[in-house]
Amino acid sequence: MGLTARSSGLNLLRENFNIDYSKKNPIIALAGNPNTGKSTVFNGLTGLRQHTGNWPGKTVTQAQGNFRYQGQEFTLIDLPGTYSLLANSTEERIARDFICFARPDATIVVADATNLERNLNLVLQVTELTDNVILCLNLMDEAERKNIKIDVAGLKNDLQIPVVPTVARDGKGLKELKNTVYDIVNKNIVVHPYRVKYSPEIENAVEELVQELRTMLTGIEKYINLHWLSLRLLEGDKTIMRSIKDLFLKDDSFETKTEGVVQTDGVNYI
């Protein structure tokens, strides 16, 4: 099955998320656990040039703003604070769908440097979905106060993504953050994040499913990482196919065809 006219371009997909795409700015998403300083980073980067509304069809607030760096303008989207992208709540589904389908040009994950282990969970989930991820290690002053020492170079090396330490409340590190966004968007830095490797059984099942999805949803790999989608289907995520259907497909035969592929364990994904 081919995709319908609704999905004939990335800009059309982005319109589903109320993104003002008229300026053709690169889109930068800001993700992170609750209370890590996302809004402080957002305000620090955008100043007063921001606009708030709701995510389409949801009561969750959406903030958008612009910032300039080296003569280029970027649009920043503040995603709801989430501990994961497993779509267990409205907030998680919004964040997941945005990164998955609006395909931001870069995603900044704001992490609490005093609570790195918990925060890295989300970082690994985001890097599973997209390459262009920047880890913003915020609250570095608090970490220092608590005598927590972070091996930033080691972290960067392990995750294979840019890591920028910040104290957003004091504006520290924000210029470096803008510089990193600029470099990624303009391909001065090419990011290939570390990805968790699963057992051969899982990787083989994923590969089979990727082939099936490629045939079933012609052209979808332009918009979504099929390896990631297959993993979600294998673990029984009931929301992802609904999101794909809402955003991409009008064809009613999709449900039947999808069931044929992914209903082997009796779970209905629609």
Distances from the Cα of 142 to the Cα of 60, 96, 103, 119, 154, angstroms:
29, 29, 33, 15, 20
Q: Segment near Mg ion (CB under 5 A), from 22-30, 31-39, 190-198, 260-268?
A: 31-39
Q: How far is the CB of 46 from Mg ion (least distance, A)?
A: 13
Question: By CB under 5 A, is residue 43 in contact with Mg ion?
Answer: no
Residue of closest CB approach to Mg ion: 39
Cβ closest to ligand GTP, residue 170 vs residue 251: 170
Question: By CB under 6 A, is residue 139 in contact with ligand GTP?
Answer: yes
Cβ closest to ligand GTP, residue 16 vs residue 114: 114
- Classify burial at 205, counting beta carbons within 10 Å of its beta carbon; exposed 0-12, middle 13-18, buried 19 or more: middle
Cβ closest to ligand GTP, residue 62 vs residue 138: 138
Question: By CB under 5 A, is residue 39 in contact with Mg ion?
Answer: yes
Q: Segment near ligand GTP (CB under 6 A), from 16-24, 38-46, 191-199, 200-208?
A: 38-46
Q: How far is the CB of 243 from ligand GTP (least distance, A)?
A: 23
In sequence order, the 6+-apart residues with CB closer than 8 A to the CB of 183 are 162, 189
Question: By CB under 6 A, is residue 165 in contact with ligand GTP?
Answer: no
Tell me how many residues contact ligand GTP (CB under 6 A): 16
Question: By CB under 6 A, is residue 46 in contact with ligand GTP?
Answer: no
Q: How far is the CB of 168 from ligand GTP (least distance, A)?
A: 4
Q: Which of 168, 226, 231, 247 binds ligand GTP (CB under 6 A)?
A: 168
Q: What is the 3-state secondary structure (H, E, C) of the chain?
A: CECCHHHCCHHHHHHCCCCCCCCCCCEEEEEECCCCCHHHHHHHHHCCCEEEEECCCCCCEEEEEEEEECCEEEEEEECCCCCCCCCCCHHHHHHHHHHHHHCCCEEEEEEEHHHHHHHHHHHHHHHHHCCCEEEEEECHHHHHHCCCCCCHHHHHHHHCCCEEECEHHHCECHHHHHHHHHHHHCCCCCCCCCCCCCCHHHHHHHHHHHHHHHHHCECHHHCCCHHHHHHHHHCCCCCHHHHHHHHHCCCCHHHHHHHHHHCCCCCCCC
Q: How far is the CB of 82 from ligand GTP (least distance, A)?
A: 9
Cβ closest to ligand GTP, residue 100 vs residue 140: 140
Q: How far is the CB of 146 from ligand GTP (least distance, A)?
A: 11
Question: By CB under 6 A, is residue 35 in contact with ligand GTP?
Answer: yes
Question: By CB under 5 A, is residue 115 in contact with Mg ion?
Answer: no
Residues 141 and 167 sit within 8 Å (Cβ to Cβ): yes
Question: By CB under 5 A, is residue 225 in contact with Mg ion?
Answer: no
Cβ closest to Mg ion, residue 39 vs residue 88: 39
| Interface ranges with Mg ion (CB under 5 A) | 38-39
Q: Which residues bind ligand GTP (CB under 6 A)?
A: 32, 34-40, 81, 138-139, 141-142, 167-169
